[in-house]
Structure 1
Amino acid sequence: MHANILDLPADPNGPFHGPLAHAFACAAHISVNNGAPWNSPDRGCSCCDAWQKREELAQDWGIDSPDAWRRQQDALLDGTSSNQVASLLLQLRQQAAWQTGAPAQPAMWDQAIAGWCQQNGQDNSVYQHLRGTAGMILEYENRFVTDGLFPPGAVVNDIRAWDLGRGANMARWGLHCGYTDPRTAHWYAVRASELARQYYGSWAEFSAGYILGRCLHFDNGQFGFRYTDPLAVHHTMMAHPHSPWLHVPFHL
């Protein structure tokens, strides 16, 4: 296969169709990047045992008990974005586009940002911070076009995929750690995929939202491995002949 197409292992005992397969396909950015079967019913990585996964969740997420796992799981699926600034900016751009009936150009977006700051009593420092984040979003979207992630003129309207993809995988991590049972873990995973279908129209849109959310959190405009790793997963999921993104309809 082409160099940027990764291996895509699957668990023969995992789901290949239906709501649970859709849920695990939402978590593919994590499982595939970690070399795990995309449809594994009980683990989102292939690199560690239950004890090691508990150590990892404690260090990276502050999760050290079943209650802590459930609180984090609920937070990822509560329908709000973990990046409120970026979500506000995307909302302002979308509102500007609705008002004019045409895609919002950067100057129009900047006017919307300035208007929001004025209406909400925010000073110039807030305005400059928002402008900087908006500029970074534009840089990522331009790079998405260059790298074939989406077509010219396309934009990301929502980054909740970043939370929902992690939420679908967190369900499996909870099971992997012994913090929950299969029925509860799979309910949470399916709930993540239900929410994804509310906010996105296709696997490609969901993936772009996930990658932008991840990059704004980790990459900060550097276009390092925090960008190139999910880009490789995206191309794999959009092209691999066994990809669930090609065989599981986004809207079931």
Structure 2
Amino acid sequence: MTASQTARQLARAELIRAIKESATRQLSETGAAALSLRAVARDLGLASSALYRYFPSRDALLTALIIDAFNAIGAAAETAAAAAPGDPGTRWLAACRAVRRWALAHPHEFALVYGSPVPGYRAPDDTIDPATRITRLLAALVLEAHAQGLLRPPAQPLPRLVTQGVLDALGGAPAEPYADLVERSLTLWISLVGTISFELFGHLHTVITDFDAYFDAAVQVAAEAVDAAWLKVEPAAGDLG
């Protein structure tokens, strides 16, 4: 590779970064539904035709932003879980707190991936792996807790409805009476997203007096969905996670 080729690649990467940053600002100002390549081009002082060489449509740009957001959430959770002490319950709680921290720091990106669907947009298959990154992490930690004998049998099992592809990615379903652990792990993720969304979008305004304490308590209640005797929530020691 020549120096000129390297320079062109760096310039391309920098312009793509600038395009995404401009589009993210649009998300905060006008919302995802109003995202416009022409507006991004104007913001960057480019001709619209130049922008289309990098993102051929609004949906292509939306997809890039969605993939980036899902990967950022997954990376935040993975980093937090890896830095936490060794038991799966502590790492699971650290990952949940990291997702909340990321959402509060990036509310518009969180709304893009977990808020109202964008009219006319259909996410392509290449968003699936980033979207399930955090889900796979949390499910893997629950399965690890099961392997260590830290779970109780379920009081009310869920029907086996997770796709075979998800089960294969996690190494298969456990044996009875824990065969629904992946489905129950999914309820933990849904509860996590819902709790964060209610806080982030103002639905708990004037309802909750201490969001940090409420979040940790809600996480612990959700853990009962997998009969998780292993999850013991401790105060978050002065920060959000």
TM norm structure 1: 0.28
Give the TM-score normalised by structure 2. 0.29
Pair member with larger Rg: 2
